[in-house]
Amino acid sequence: MNIGDKVTWKHHAKGKHKDLTGKVIAEIAPDEDGFTKLFLVDKLSLSRIQFEKGVKTYRRLLVEVERGGKSTLSDFYAPNADSVKLA
């Protein structure tokens, strides 16, 4: 996957499963905290970050997902790069 690619994956949280689609804005290397990549985003509140702080042992992608509806905001996810497919 490359920066700017539109991707999709299955997201599981709080007992709910849904397919999400968004745009890759950064790659997060193993043993790198995803929060370090969020400097790319202006005016970011913590409620828009939808992944845990800390390092992982696998490569992740920082993905921006539009909320939709009347909202002009986006949320930010960091799925495992192996679980993501091009949309």
Longest CA pairwise span in the chain (Å): 37
For the stretch 19-35, pLDDT in tens is 999 999 999 999 999 99
Task: Yes or no: say if 30 and 56 are a contact pair by the CB < 8 Å rule.
Answer: yes
Please give the Cα distance from 5 to 62 (Å, whole number). Answer: 11
Q: Would you say residue 7 has pLDDT above 90?
A: yes
Q: Would you say residue 51 has pLDDT above 90?
A: yes
